[in-house]
A and B are shown apart, each in its own frame.
Chain A
Amino acid sequence: MKADEKISIAHGAGGLYMHKLIKEHILPRFKQRRSVEIPLTLLTDSAVVNGIAFTTDSYTVKPLFFPGGDIGRLSISGTVNDLSVIGSEPLAISCALVIEEGFEIEKLDRILSSMEEAAEEAGVEIVTGDTKVVERGKLDEMIINTAGIGRRSPHLDKNLEKAASDGRSLRSRWLDPRNIKPGDRLIVSGPIGDHAMTIIAARGELGFEAPGLRSDTAPLNHLMERALEAGGVLAAKDPTRGGLAALLNEWSEATGFGILVKEALIPIRDEVRTGCEILGIDPLELACEGRVVLAVSEKFAEDVLEALRSHPMGREAEIIGWFSGEHEGVVVETEIGGLRYLPMPIGDPIPRIC
């Protein structure tokens, strides 16, 4: 980037620009001084230090309240999910509030109660925090930052042992795309795009009411435990900014393998599909806040699918594709049987959704 370049909304959108910013500006400046089991450079959802998983995330959704959740529920779910997808059991969460002068206390109370409710659902405690207020107009209502720690899931070792029983050698003792090999199956835990489309509708950008739409925002740790109990899970990630398209491209890049997904198998609700048609956006680029994508050994994919479907949050889970050693990049088999590449999204069609 040149000296006169400035941060644009696209730099925070989870796509190509954000990855460039992280790789060219952030990573080279934060030196890793001691050996960390899962370090920053791997760009996973959580780091692992001395056996403890650790993550942080800031939330700036507009509007603050939306069908199916609010910024409070989002801020707990997002951090719980980042801890869960690496194979840890979330323990404790911090809560930092940055609030605009003039913000109504009544609204703040509702958000805080919602945080507590989500924490209870996940079985974590909010143990530390911070509060800052900035002058009116210097911030749009509020930003919440949460960080969280987790310990190794009691099911993780058995899960990986089972995965390795197909003859592979594991490169990481956590859920990690480096464990993936061609043939491994991709499972998505439920319909994609509900969160992003709900936010778009809540902003009135669809031009009509969409009463059927609800954000999927939810803590996924119990669902993840169910999958690990079944065994054979190699990697997991939640498709937030950039949606499935960004997630699959990241995994394809991290593993060096191609991915083939069948569009017809990807669960998408009619309301989301229709909204995408109207706005001319690709549902595969829409963010979820309560879905997880799993890479599972082919041998155990059906078992894990069944385990996911036995949990209320995974009832609509589907196997959507697989890793391939015979091509590069992410290829979509379209519903009519055609083929196209699914590129890394450039930016996000809709900023400030999480």
Chain B
Amino acid sequence: MVDSADPMKAVLSRYRDPALARKLVARIWDLARDLPKIRIMHVCGTHEWTITHWGIRALLPDNIEVRGGPGCPVCITPASDIDVAVKLALDGINVLTYGDVSRAKGSRMISLEDCAADGGKVGVVYSFMDAVRIASSNPDSEYVFLGAGFETTAPTVAYYILKGLPRNLKVLSAHRYVPPAVGFLAESEDLEIDAFINPGHASTVSGMRAYKPYFDKCGKPMVFAGFEPIDVLVAIYMILKQLRENVPRMENEYVRSVTWEGNLKAQKALQEVFDFEDGYWRGVAIIPASAMNLKEKFSQDDARRVYGLERGGGDYFPQEARCAEIIKGIINPPDCPLYMKACTPSTPIGPPMVGLEGTCRIWAQNRILVKDFRCMSEACRINHGTKYVRRL
């Protein structure tokens, strides 16, 4: 244990240092003074977890808001792709996917997990590697892997496709590429985003460079950030500094992982295997050049071509649910009438409560404090002298 514990402890204590956090918060307050209302969006479920789990929103001045955008792969996977996978599973083809994807419901409110109870063939895997291993050791069965996720998970799929898949394994790609989505969100007028915290893991693959055209177009601050609380506080500090100086930049807070070029080997694999085409993000929009679809030369590996599947169109969300607005970051979970009433982590209805990185699930599990909650005890240091809110 000693060997494994020490380096981790060193990292944790550095990026979770309370004294440093206090200093950063004080600087953020200084910078935010006299600024108008600032809305910062992040597009990664893990950032939402960090912000929520560490209670960062309670530390920020009233005029600084951090919104969660479409950063949960399960949430943005089109209902039509889930429908198609359910149909395949019920037709006797073994559908393999990640655990939380298997719980996401399609347009008829049926998930892969639900259809397994009706005899659908569904298997849960931790990675595409597991899918390859399972298909190889069962050569007489047909398998389809429903690949959801961003450029974080897609390179593994690309790598195995280039290496040659087992003949009985096809890929149903619902993979999405993040940079065009950030570009889309930056131009969305209903969101009024002032700056972005860009995803640390996805950008480690794509590199900062991939965001350059979108930054040039919108001219809004973009800071690439890591996932410890100090990372997020530094990113907010950097953004406010840019806004104060009125010189928007692309800046890298996550220097221990993100580079300008990114992971060239992974990018090459993605370029070789996928065409980057218009793609629907559930609840958001059709975003140009964001869907990673298999190139024609890999037709034999492409479940859509092999089984003649329709490409996703249309959408469906449960009645009264405001999933789409939550995924896009227009509203916060408590603004949805189903949140923590009919829709809870143990009885999820909409995809943001299903996905491990879904905004609703993270908020529910940490019961985030909203609006004016300020504890007036000496312990909480930042005292607005305002009222307490009742439990969500």
Given contacts A260-B375, A274-B9, A333-B375, is CB(A340)–CB(B52) below 8 Å?
yes
Q: A112 at the A/B interface (Cβ < 8 Å)?
A: no
Taking the nearest CB of chain A, how far is it from the CB of B21, in angstroms? 4
B5's contact among A271, A338, A343, by CB below 8 Å, is which?
A: A271
Cα A341 to Cα B57 in complex, Å, equals 13
Q: B316 at the A/B interface (Cβ < 8 Å)?
A: no
What are the residues of chain B within 8 A of A334 when measuring CB–CB?
Answer: 53-55, 229
What are the residues of chain B within 8 A of A332 when measuring CB–CB?
Answer: 55
Q: B188 at the A/B interface (Cβ < 8 Å)?
A: no
What are the residues of chain B within 8 A of A327 when measuring CB–CB?
Answer: 373, 375, 388-391
Q: A335 at the A/B interface (Cβ < 8 Å)?
A: yes
The segment out of A84-92, A210-218, A300-308 that lies at the interface is: A210-218
List residues 299-354 of chain A with CB under 8 A from any CB of chain B. 322, 324, 326-329, 331-343, 346
Closest B residue by C-beta to A342:
B367
List residues 367-389 of chain B with CB under 8 A from any CB of chain A. 367-369, 373, 375-377, 379-382, 388-389
Q: B58 at the A/B interface (Cβ < 8 Å)?
A: yes
Beta-carbon contacts of A264-278 to B below 8 Å, as 1s and 0s? Answer: 100000110110010
Please tell me if the beta carbons of A324 and B377 are within 8 angstroms of each other in the complex.
Answer: yes
Please tell me if the beta carbons of A339 and B58 are within 8 angstroms of each other in the complex.
Answer: yes
Taking the nearest CB of chain A, how far is it from the CB of B303, in angstroms? 31
Beta-carbon contacts of B52-92 to A below 8 Å, as 1s and 0s? Answer: 11111111000000000000000000000000000000000
What are the residues of chain A within 8 A of B389 when measuring CB–CB?
Answer: 327
A331's contact among B18, B229, B375, by CB below 8 Å, is which?
A: B375
Please tell me if the beta carbons of A341 and B366 are within 8 angstroms of each other in the complex.
Answer: yes
Q: A19 at the A/B interface (Cβ < 8 Å)?
A: no
Q: B16 at the A/B interface (Cβ < 8 Å)?
A: yes
Q: A30 at the A/B interface (Cβ < 8 Å)?
A: no
Closest A residue by C-beta to B346:
A346
Given contacts A338-B56, A338-B58, A346-B346, is CB(A333)–CB(B392) below 8 Å?
no
Q: A151 at the A/B interface (Cβ < 8 Å)?
A: no
Please tell me if the beta carbons of B391 and A341 are within 8 angstroms of each other in the complex.
Answer: yes
Given contacts A212-B2, A336-B21, A338-B59, is CB(A274)–CB(B375) below 8 Å?
no
Please tell me if the beta carbons of B5 and A336 are within 8 angstroms of each other in the complex.
Answer: no
Given contacts A274-B1, A327-B375, is CB(A339)–CB(B55) below 8 Å?
yes
Please tell me if the beta carbons of B2 and A264 are within 8 angstroms of each other in the complex.
Answer: no
Cα A234 to Cα B98 in complex, Å, equals 48
What are the residues of chain A within 8 A of B2 when measuring CB–CB?
Answer: 212
B8's contact among A212, A274, A337, by CB below 8 Å, is which?
A: A274
Q: B25 at the A/B interface (Cβ < 8 Å)?
A: yes
Taking the nearest CB of chain A, how far is it from the CB of B246, in angstroms? 29
Please tell me if the beta carbons of B1 and A329 are within 8 angstroms of each other in the complex.
Answer: no
Q: B312 at the A/B interface (Cβ < 8 Å)?
A: no
Please tell me if the beta carbons of B1 and A211 are within 8 angstroms of each other in the complex.
Answer: yes
What are the residues of chain B within 8 A of A333 when measuring CB–CB?
Answer: 55, 375, 379-380
Cα A334 to Cα B233 in complex, Å, equals 14
What are the residues of chain A within 8 A of B388 when measuring CB–CB?
Answer: 326-327
Q: A104 at the A/B interface (Cβ < 8 Å)?
A: no
Please tell me if the beta carbons of B392 and A341 are within 8 angstroms of each other in the complex.
Answer: yes
A337's contact among B1, B21, B364, B390, by CB below 8 Å, is which?
A: B21
Cα A211 to Cα B2 in complex, Å, equals 9
What are the residues of chain A within 8 A of B233 when measuring CB–CB?
Answer: 336
> Given A212-B2, A333-B379, A336-B56, 10 more contacts at CB 8 Å?
A270-B5, A271-B1, A273-B9, A274-B8, A333-B375, A336-B230, A336-B233, A339-B55, A341-B367, A346-B346
List A residues at the B interface (Cβ < 8 Å): 16-17, 208-213, 260, 262, 264, 270-271, 273-274, 277, 322, 324, 326-329, 331-343, 346
Name 12 interchain pairs, CB-CB below 8 A, sorted by A.
A260-B377, A331-B369, A333-B375, A336-B21, A336-B22, A336-B59, A337-B21, A337-B25, A338-B55, A338-B229, A339-B373, A341-B369
